[in-house]
Copies of this chain bind each other. A is one copy, B any other.
C-alpha cells in the first residue's frame, strides 16, 4: 500500500449502459484504487459522479457521538455521488483492494445531459435507482431485531450481487462494516450469523462468503427462528399501524 499509484485514462468501455449513452462514457475516466483509500471526504466538493466498475466502496459519516454510520455499500454497477448542495456530507471509502471506478466530471456530465436528452434520461434513471436503493435501506434499518436485520442484509446482498440463484454470496466488507451498516454491535452481527448458521438457514464459507440454504427463514426470521417454538407465534399483527381508508383515488 506504499505507493498510491492511481492510473487514470480517459475513454472507458461502455459497460452495460447501452450504446445510446456512449457520450456519457466518453467523458468518464477510469481510476484504480487500493483498499482503505478515501475517494472523497465529508467536506469535499461534489465535483464528480461515480460508478463502481469492479470492487466495492462505502459511503459513511461520523456521527456526533463518535460512531460511524455506513449509509450505503456501493457494488459493481452502482452509481453514486449525486448531490444537490455542492458539498458531499458523506465520505466515500474503498473497501476492496484494486477497485476500479468510473468518474464522471459533474459539470461536463450536466452539460452533456442538457444537450442530449438520452443522457439526461439515463442520469435520471440512475438517480431513481439510488432512491430505490436508499428506500430499501430504510426498510432494512427499520427491522427491530438483530436477526431480522442480518437476514434482510443477506437477502439484499444476494439480490445486489447478481450471482446465480443458490450461488455463494460474496461479502466484500468486514463484520465491523456490516455492524455500522445495520447500526448494531459487531458482536451482535457475529452472533446473528452464528444463529442463522446453527438453524441451517445459511452456510458460512470462510468469513467472507455466505450460502443461503433457506430463503424463507431469512424472509420471515421471527416465525421459523427459535429452536424451541415460541409461544407467541400467533400474534404477528402487532405494531403501531392504524387502519386507513381505502385505496381508491380520484372519484
Binding site for B on A (CB under 8 A): 1, 4-6, 8, 31, 36-41, 44, 59, 61-69, 71-72, 82-85, 89-90, 93, 110, 113-115, 117, 120-121, 123-125, 127-132, 134-135, 137-139, 141-144, 148, 176-177, 179-180, 183, 185-186, 219-220, 222-223, 236-242, 244-251
How often does this chain occur in the complex, in copies?
A: 2
**6 additional contacts, CB 8 Å, given A38-B245, A83-B128, A185-B240?**
A4-B248, A72-B135, A82-B131, A84-B129, A93-B244, A134-B138
Minimal Cβ-Cβ distance residue in B for A130: B131
* A63 lies within 8 A of B143 (CB): yes
**From B8, B242, B247, contact of A250 by CB (8 A):** B8
A50 to chain B, nearest CB (A): 11
Residues of B within 8 A of A64 (CB): 219-220
* A39 lies within 8 A of B249 (CB): yes
Residues of B within 8 A of A127 (CB): 82, 124, 127-128, 131
